[in-house]
């Protein structure tokens, strides 16, 4: 893999992160981060959808009339999302129930449309595929970080396994309480805000004026 292609995957992880820098795809991201497992499934679904629809649009890029390109893109993305949704329903039904409408909302996830418009319309299929994988990973990374803190402090578990020792809890004579606030929606926003803060204070050139 050439250095240029490697960059396509590495850049979105930090310097061009879809969530903290490009501000794309926040819509369906935050609601699924109360636990790590749905966040992981969501991240994988988005990686698959972005990568495959990037390839399809890139293959068709010279034949799509510019005036109707949004509708064509939406239809391709919707098709990929239907495939992912049916797959989840068939193999991991409980997670699919937990994600509810948010799988469907991958269609309008700006990260997918954003990459199609900004990258796949101008580049060859292989590069587009890598770009999709990279951006999906960058998105998934933030999702998993947020879910990690929310599940650990909110429920004391990770992926469903108990991490905080049972004997620490006040119910068993200990001193510890779960912080129920982490489970609630506003905390997801605040955690992302803090992630952006840390990320930008380490990369000064990303700061806004």
Interface ranges with another protein (CB under 8 A): 20, 23-31, 70-71, 74-75, 78-79, 81-82, 85-86, 100-101, 104-105, 107-110, 113, 184-190, 192-194, 196-201, 204, 206-209
Nearer to another protein, 44 or 105 (CB): 105
Q: How far is the CB of 191 from another protein (least distance, A)?
A: 8
Which residues partner with 157 through β-bridges?
A: 162
Q: How far is the CB of 128 from another protein (least distance, A)?
A: 19
**In Å, what is the CA distance from 171 to each residue of 163, 165, 168, 179?**
16, 12, 9, 14
Asked if residue 172 lies in contact with residue 166, where contact means CB atoms within 8 angstroms, the answer is yes
Nearer to another protein, 7 or 200 (CB): 200
Q: How far is the CB of 39 from another protein (least distance, A)?
A: 13
Nearer to another protein, 27 or 118 (CB): 27
Q: How far is the CB of 166 from another protein (least distance, A)?
A: 30
Nearer to another protein, 41 or 76 (CB): 76
Asked if residue 106 lies in contact with residue 49, where contact means CB atoms within 8 angstroms, the answer is yes
Q: How far is the CB of 132 from another protein (least distance, A)?
A: 17
Nearer to another protein, 162 or 203 (CB): 203
């Amino acid at each position: 893999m050439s250095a240029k292609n490697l960059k396509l995957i590495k850049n979105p992880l930090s310097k061009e992160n879809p969530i903290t820098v490009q501000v794309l795809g926040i819509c369906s991201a935050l609601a699924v981060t109360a636990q790590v497992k749905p966040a992981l499934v969501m991240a994988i679904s988005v990686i698959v959808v972005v990568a495959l629809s990037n390839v399809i649009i890139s293959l068709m890029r010279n034949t799509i009339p510019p005036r109707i390109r949004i509708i064509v893109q939406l239809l391709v993305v919707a098709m990929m999302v239907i495939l992912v949704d049916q797959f989840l329903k068939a193999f991991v039904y409980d997670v699919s129930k937990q994600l509810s409408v948010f799988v469907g909302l991958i269609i309008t996830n700006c990260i997918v449309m954003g990459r199609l418009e900004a990258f796949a319309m101008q580049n060859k299929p292989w590069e587009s595929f890598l770009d999709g994988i990279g951006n999906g990973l960058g998105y998934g990374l933030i999702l998993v970080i947020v879910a990690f803190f929310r599940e650990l402090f909110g429920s004391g578990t990770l992926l469903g396994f108990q991490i905080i020792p049972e004997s620490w809890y006040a119910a068993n004579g200990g001193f510890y309480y779960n912080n129920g606030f982490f489970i609630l929606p506003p905390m997801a926003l605040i955690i992302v805000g803090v992630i952006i803060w840390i990320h930008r204070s380490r990369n000064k050139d990303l700061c806004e004026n």
